[in-house]
Amino acid sequence: MPTYHVKARNTSTSSENRIHDDQTARQYGFRGALVPGVTVYAYLTHPLVEAFGAAWLERGTANVRFAKPIHDGEEVTVAGAVTARDARSVTATLTASTSAGGECATLSATLPAGTPVPVNLVMYPVAPLPAERPPATREHFSKLDVLGTPINSYDDARAAEYLDRVSDALALYRGVRGWAHPGFFLDQANKALSQNVLMSPWIHAGSVVRHLGGARVGETLATRGRVRSLFEKKGRQFVEADLVIVAGDRPRPVAHIVHTAIYQLTPPAR
């Protein structure tokens, strides 16, 4: 796979999620504010799209996991290789590394030969976002039948702002009928959690993504979903959200995402 070098940017300095604030992050044992996982994911997709083009944006898959934090200003190297190839798919593995942290994130991707398995939108109803967000607790998540639906336009201005934010210069994201960046899908997955409950600080732990046709600049995206599971690991509370992103006035599924977040961190030592 092509090797990609990029300087990491903390794209969420003004976020209500204070894990992207230096002082708060240090209270939890980190060297400083965390670069968002969705931004690191955007970096990881660059070699995939450079190598496989629009085909991966239409029907490719990704399984990304974040092992160590990346901090603002660090030089990130994304490298990988094709690890398997047959008549049904091509598989590649990529890592995002820094000199201080070593391998910080890993992405396993496939480019299937056939069309994606469709999702049943009846299982993902639209729901209003809450007027007032309750705190993120296991009790509240366990009672949620459906998550409120964030709706956001990916117009020319939003696309230009997003591509600048994640430092992606690939041409297929630009111009008339340019493709929506896959990192923006995970940005919407974050919103499916953060616009339904109050969480701070919290951490994006990983995502499993299936592209179902891809979206284009100029389309409006809605993120429908539900809580799939809740679990604890090493004193941290995790939530898995089962999400489908649809585009257009006549809803067309463009991505299916299982999005995992740590909504309650281990309290910092005093």
Two tokens, residue 14 = 């003004």
- DSSP letter assigned to residue 145: S
How far apart CA 250 and CA 237 sit, in angstroms, is 37
Strand residues in the chain grouped as ranges (E): 4-7, 61-66, 75-85, 89-98, 102-112, 151-154, 203-211, 219-233, 236-247, 252-264
Burial of 138 (0-12, 13-18, 19+ CB in 10 A): middle
Composition of the chain by helix, strand, coil, percent to 5? 25, 40, 40
How far apart CA 78 and CA 2 sit, in angstroms, is 8
Helical H runs in 149-258?
A: 156-165, 182-194
pLDDT of residue 269: 62
CATH number of 4-114+121-264: 3.10.129.10
pLDDT of residue 91: 98
Question: For 47-70, how does the pLDDT look when each residue is reduced to its tens digit (9 = 90+)?
Answer: 999 999 999 999 999 999 999 999
Two tokens, residue 86 = 């047959």
* This prediction's pTM: 0.97
Query: Which residues face 62 on adjacent strands?
Result: 109, 209
pLDDT of residue 119: 96
CB neighbourhood size of 151 (10 A): 15
For the chain, 270 residues long, the average pLDDT of each consecutive 10-residue run is 97 96 95 97 98 97 98 98 95 98 98 94 97 97 96 97 98 94 98 97 98 97 98 96 95 98 85
